[in-house]
Amino acid sequence: MEFNLENIVRKNIWNLKPYSSARSEFDLYGSDKAYPKSLPAEGTSNEVSPLGKMSAGQKGLTLLDANENPKGDLNRYPDPLQSSIKEELAKQKDISPDQIFVGNGSDEAIDLLYRIFCEPGKDTVITCPPTYGMYEVSAAINDVSVLKVPLNKDFSLNLDEILNSSAFAKAKLLWICSPNNPTGNVLLKADLKHDWQAQNYTRGGMMDMPFAPEFEAEMLENQRQLDRLFGNFNGIIVVDEAYQDFTENMSFIKRLEDYPNLVVLQTMSKAHGMAGARVGFAFSSPEIIELFNRTKPPYNVNELSQKAVLETLKNEEKTKTEIQEIINNKDFLVEHLNSFNFIKEVYPSEANFVLAKVENATQVYNYLRDKGIIIRNRSSQIKDTLRFTVGTMMECKEVITALRQIPANAGI
């Protein structure tokens, strides 16, 4: 089946003429080649601005086009297309900058996908619960119907049920969170061959070791199922990789060239420790990213967040160190959670949290809350389950110590 983007985009969006902001008509933040090479205007500073970018005066420019206050460290509108972030991400992800959308958290990208592709009161999307709740909330906000295809009992993706669902032929979006929240497991694998090599290499094995026949069959079957899913879906398949940094599995960003109806979401909120900055990304074809840029507000990511994100992205070693620390702390947390009789199961997780099946889960949740330890009660999604975010080693030990101190007469 040949994918046709125009057929699934809302007609008003396809024909939309985006707002032309002052900074889109004159690119203040692009390449230095675009700027005149004159000396700074008289009375302007030669020092680097507190925000790290050259000021208009440093470029020999008098900016009177955006009705900005001429004074102040944050007086200028930010780069509307976040070009510095995209250049850095493009290098790290080995893609083109025009395949990247930078948004006000992943939630903006989620909302824009509905605005771009879904007609209110008419269209349908598919979700696979239990999963991230904003897919359904954003659908309700945009007056879009949701068909739920639940995960299997082992929390795996029910691919046959998705393909055979009543809405599959006409659905505009299919949401797949992988690793999934709140279960923590990977739902869809981009390339088993890559994953095998990554795991083998990190364990000291040889990269060119031959595959076992069983694995080769599994690898081919995984690829067949991917082609079956992407090749038969008329809409957009969104793979939300908010927790991708905590797994060795290959990102679906590497499959963008193979699947034109693929959008991958990632975020600065988890592994990079920047939830407060509210910055997330969408990766896709240049044609789909252009639709994002056409539909978004002109200045959707503020200057302070842009600067902080760029600095964090460039400090890759710090991020890698913190990720490994979280993984080590998770191993500690899982080991000790498994020692309690009232914790019936700790589910495998490739994220920065673990989900546990807990006897009298709500009572345990309330007990920890009263001790000042706030976790997440997920029993409304999965019966008798609690979700523990992996914190510092001290915080993990606080959780275990508090659980050990539950009184024998507490009824837990």
Structure-token pair, residue 121? 């009161």
Residues 182 and 262 in one domain: yes
Residues 83 and 60 in one domain: no
The pLDDT tens digits along the chain (412 residues) read 689 999 999 999 999 999 999 988 888 887 433 333 333 344 444 333 434 455 555 567 899 999 999 999 999 999 999 999 999 999 999 999 999 999 999 999 999 999 999 999 999 999 999 999 999 999 999 999 999 999 999 999 999 999 999 899 999 999 999 999 999 999 999 998 776 666 665 555 555 566 677 778 889 999 999 999 999 999 999 999 999 999 999 999 999 999 999 999 999 999 999 999 999 999 999 999 999 999 999 999 999 999 999 999 999 999 999 999 999 999 999 999 999 999 999 999 999 999 999 999 999 999 999 999 999 999 999 999 999 999 999 999 999 999 999 987 777 7
CATH of residue 139: 3.40.640.10
Distance CA 148, CA 133 (A): 12
Residues 322 and 302 in one domain: no
Residue-wise DSSP of 133-189: THHHHHHHHTT-EEEE-PPPTTS---HHHHHTSTTTTT-SEEEEESS-TTT------
How many folded domains does the chain comprise? 3
Residues 173 and 308 in one domain: yes
Residues 248 and 388 in one domain: no
Residues 276 and 184 in one domain: yes
CB count in 10 Å sphere of residue 69 = 8
Let me know: does 116 contact 123? Beta carbons within 8 Å.
no
User: Looking at residue 198, what is its pLDDT?
Assistant: 60
User: Looking at residue 1, what is its pLDDT?
Assistant: 66
Q: Which residues are CB-neighbours of 339 under 8 A, at least 6 positions away?
A: none
Residues 163 and 305 in one domain: yes
User: Looking at residue 360, what is its pLDDT?
Assistant: 95
Query: Is the full-model pTM beyond 0.85?
Result: yes
Residues 63 and 95 in one domain: no
Residues 187 and 57 in one domain: no
Q: Which residues are CB-neighbours of 97 under 8 A, at least 6 positions away?
A: 83, 86, 87, 89, 90
User: Looking at residue 63, what is its pLDDT?
Assistant: 92
Residues 157 and 204 in one domain: yes
User: Looking at residue 36, what is its pLDDT?
Assistant: 34
Alpha-carbon dihedral sign for residues 350, 353, 355, 358: positive
What amino acid occupies position 209? M
Residues 62 and 85 in one domain: no
User: Looking at residue 215, what is its pLDDT?
Assistant: 76
